[in-house]
Amino acid sequence: MGGFISRFIQRYFRNIFRNRSHVRLGLYGPPNAGKSTLANKICKDWLNQEMSTVSPIPHETREIQIKEEVSIKNEDGKTLSFSLVDTPGIATKIDYEDFIKKGLKEAVAKKRAKEATKGVIESIKWLDSMDAVVVVLDATQDPYSQVNITIVGNLQARNIPVLIVANKVDLRRAKLNKVKAAFPQYEVVGVSAKLGTNVNEFYNTLFKLVG
């Protein structure tokens, strides 16, 4: 009971003191869902520059990446400015042997695994600093994985607005409806961050979320 009250008080005061004039928008999700690809797409569209490196090997982003002052415009000419925070993918297991199977040398794989564990911890610590979060999921993967549910549940518990992006809808295996069925209480937008498919709907929904 004490824990519940202290959590309620923390959330109440956090919401009072949250600085709304400077929105911090986080990209969260499991590894290789396409967070960095989406971050790059946003930055290319509005700043004409890239933000993060991407790779087919999981845990390419192992440190928090921040792009300050990203401004996007909607069809009505309204502007939304935010700091974009690309976070390392959240996972419950990291096995350096999986990186070796992807072609990395053992020493490099071990280093990557160690950095990736720190990255996951960083991502979780930053949850409290976000004003809104885009949860990026791979639409070809099972949406009911506990990591996805834990991320979304934590954001809900912290009263942080959430938009779910089902990425990689260009792939035949993508199942957008399954992602929508898994999170019926949230807005789910299907995109291909790599090809730019449906990103305008994503921007419009983002305006509704934090605009």
Partner 1 sequence: MVTFHFVPYQEIEDLNSTKRISKLMGIVRQDKIVVLEGQLHKEEETALIESTMSDINEEFRGIELAVIYPEKQKMDAMKRLKFDIARFLVGNRQGFTIVGPASIVKRVRQNPSSIELFTQEARKRKKR
- Should residue 92 be labelled a site residue for partner 1 when binding is judged by CB under 8 A? yes
* Residue 90 binding partner 1, by CB under 8 A: yes
Residue 117 in contact with partner 1, rule: CB under 8 A: yes
Answer for which of 156, 159, 177, 200 binds partner 1 (CB under 8 A) is 156
By CB under 8 A, residue 121 contacts partner 1 = yes
Tell me how far, at minimum, the Cβ of 141 lies from partner 1, in Å.
Answer: 11
CA dihedral 10, 13, 14, 19 (to 10 degrees): -170
| Shortest Å, Cβ 98 to partner 1 | 9
Q: How many residues does the chain have?
A: 211
CB under 8 A, 24+ apart: contacts of 11-16: 11/158, 11/159, 14/128, 14/158, 15/159
44 contacts partner 1 (rule: CB under 8 A): no
Q: Which residues contact 102 (CB under 8 A, 6 or more apart)?
A: 56, 57, 58
Task: Output the smallest distance, CB 154 to partner 1, in A.
Answer: 5
Q: How far is the CB of 106 from partner 1 (least distance, A)?
A: 10
* Distance of closest approach, residue 150 Cβ to partner 1, in angstroms: 5
With binding defined as CB under 8 A, does residue 145 bind partner 1?
yes
Closest C-alpha among 141, 145, 42, 138 to residue 85 = 42
- Give me 87's structure tokens: 């976070």
State which residue, 45 or 115, has the beta carbon closest to partner 1: 115
95 binds partner 1 (CB under 8 A): yes
Q: How far is the CB of 18 from partner 1 (least distance, A)?
A: 18
Instruction: Assign 32 to helix, strand or coil.
Output: coil
Which residues fall within 8 angstroms of residue 99, CB to CB, at 6 or more apart?
57, 58, 59, 108, 109, 112, 113
- Which amino acid makes up residue 66? I
- Kindly state whether residue 142 participates in binding partner 1, applying the rule CB under 8 A: yes
Nearest residue (CB) to partner 1, 22 versus 118 = 118
| Phi, psi for residue 136 in degrees, rounded to 5 | -100, 120
Q: How many Cβ atoms are within 10 Å of 82's Cβ, its own excluded?
A: 21
* 154: contact with partner 1 by CB under 8 A: yes
Task: Provide the binding-site residues for partner 1, judged by CB under 8 A.
Answer: 3-4, 7, 90-96, 110, 113, 117-118, 120-121, 124, 127, 142, 144-147, 149-150, 153-154, 156-157, 184-185
